[in-house]
């Protein structure tokens, strides 16, 4: 297995890694840099073999060394050399990444299967109702007195304010407001009676 191949041959290397990890526990940045320089290439090679994508492998290697920085205390020198422990950490991180990626892909596929197809079904009854309602509104507006009709048209179809309508019709503001209010009340009553 790859762990046996990566085990340091000289005990000096093991003690060097152990010493660097011990310094890392004291947040020694230099010790972290040395560990990175010593092991990043082999960690990258392992991760790349698992994830099969260079950019993803770089991200996973970064995660592995970030985890080492945060949790260096998890390494126990009594349980074996540092390099195999780091490789196991990298392997697990890469496999976690693959599982997460496949889970995301599965969710996307599930969601696409759950979504109903978008079909535009003509709604003849709704269109007919809207047409009838529009005809009723036109008829009711036609039944208003000319001042009410003109004031409502200016307000709702041309977007003028009450003051602008008063100026356009050369009528007092209160009169224009009354025309609009009374005209809307007649429209409302006419629509309610038709329903």
Residue 29's pLDDT is 93
Contact partners, residue 14, CB within 8 Å, separation at least 6: 8, 81, 82
Cα 13 from Cα 109, distance rounded (Å)? 48
Q: Is the separation of the CB atoms in 51 and 97 below 8 Å?
A: yes
Domain that holds residue 166: 138-194
Does 92 lie in the same domain as 45?
yes
Does 160 lie in the same domain as 106?
no
Residue 4's pLDDT is 31
Does 148 lie in the same domain as 66?
no
The model's pTM is 0.49
Residue 156's pLDDT is 78
Q: Is the separation of the CB atoms in 76 and 25 below 8 Å?
A: no
Residue 28's pLDDT is 92
Residue 114's pLDDT is 58
**Residue stretches of the chain with pLDDT short of 50:** 1-11
Tens of pLDDT, residue by residue over 25-48, are 999 999 999 999 999 999 999 999
Residue 116's pLDDT is 59
Does 7 lie in the same domain as 103?
yes
Residue 127's pLDDT is 78
Cα 93 from Cα 63, distance rounded (Å)? 8
Locate 136 and state its tokens.
């009723």
Does 22 lie in the same domain as 92?
yes
The residue from 61, 79, 113 where one domain ends is 113
* Domain annotation covers residue 133: no
């Amino acid at each position: 297995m790859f762990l046996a191949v990566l085990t340091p041959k000289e005990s000096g290397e093991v003690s060097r890694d152990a010493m660097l990890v011990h310094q890392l526990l004291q947040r020694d940045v230099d010790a972290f840099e040395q560990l990175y320089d010593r092991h990043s290439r082999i960690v990258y090679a392992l991760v790349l073999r698992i994830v099969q994508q260079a950019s993803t492998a770089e991200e996973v290697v970064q995660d592995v060394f970030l985890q080492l920085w945060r949790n260096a205390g998890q390494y126990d020198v009594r349980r074996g050399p540092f390099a195999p422990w780091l490789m196991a950490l990298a392997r697990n991180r890469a496999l976690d990444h693959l599982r997460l990626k496949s889970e995301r892909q599965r969710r996307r596929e599930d969601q696409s299967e759950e979504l109903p197809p978008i079909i535009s079904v003509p709604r003849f009854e709704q269109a007919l109702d809207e047409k009838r309602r529009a005809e009723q509104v036109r008829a009711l507006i036609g039944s208003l007195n000319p001042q009410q009709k003109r004031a409502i048209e200016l307000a709702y179809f041309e977007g003028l304010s009450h003051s602008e309508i008063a100026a356009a019709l050369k009528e007092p503001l209160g009169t224009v407001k009354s025309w609009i209010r009374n005209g809307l009340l007649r429209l409302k009553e006419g629509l309610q009676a038709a329903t």
